[in-house]
Amino acid sequence: MNQEQLEFVKNGKGFIAALDQSGGSTPKALALYGVSEDQYSTEEEMYDLIHEMRTRVMTAPSFNSDSIIGAILFEQTMDRKVEGQYTPDYLWQQKGVVPFLKVDKGLADEENGVQVMKLISDLDDVLKRANERNVFGTKMRSVIKEANPDGIKKVVEQQFEIGKQILAAGLVPILEPEVDINSKDKEQSEKILKEEMLKHLDQLSDDQNVMIKITIPTVDNYYKELIDHPRVLRVVALSGGYKRDDANQKLAANEGLIASFSRALSEGVSASQSDEEFNNMLENSIKGIYEASIT
């Protein structure tokens, strides 16, 4: 494990950029960027276009370690190049940004008010390739839609079980048990989730350190115990569908919680913009998210 990256992840000021839209969410991400589905006809063309968008983001002047600690990549992005370097190497060597990799394969059907992750049948191979590509850590997402204790327990158990496999491979897992912002009992779900997370964190050994990615809580500073836990390097928040200004406002009310935004980060940028317009829009976005993360 790269100790310089570890120190930066643990103590650096800024946020983590989520650039990990996968097959299912890529058409929507492209549409928001101003690229409609009639502008590509194959999956390969779609992925080429989303890589062009991500490259434009990563090569922008404001996308650097002054504001950004890490970036979460889609598996294909890890194997593609930016300005002649594999993306993880470009991020760290040229931008000082720590590379992470999304490893989940999407969500299973809803059961007991939650969606656990689908089986990651090739995880060992993906982790081996991640190490070869100089990736620091991983991210994997589950979703909680109802305050169902059995369902939430299953989500957390799965996150930690796979997280330990990732730790054994020498990578740092970002555990992401997302609570749906539209859940009618969101606050109760967060109560159950925190209790389950703390149980499992307390069972980790001294050399097993994880990160956590969560929905911004209903009650300000509700996840302070997770942020302060000795086995947690960092707790980051997803925007979860909130508009950027709303997400920034809610985030700023939670001390120690930093952003890991995707849609809120790219909100307002467009394929039709000139480089100057694009870079200015992204710079304003990065500035707002950074300020909310360090408040």
85-94 CB burial, b ≥16 within 10 A, e <16: ebbbbbbbee
Q: Residue 191 to residues 99, 146, 250, 257: CA-CA distances in angstroms?
A: 31, 12, 18, 17
Of 176, 178, 190, 196, catalytic: 176
* Annotation says 176 is catalytic: yes
Amino acid at 65: S
Distances (CA, A) of 245 to 92, 178, 214, 256, 265: 29, 20, 18, 19, 11
Nearest CA among 51, 120, 43 for reference residue 86 = 51
Amino acid at 143: V
Q: What is the CA radius of gyration of the chain?
A: 18
Say whether 132 is catalytic. no
Catalytic residue ranges:
176, 213
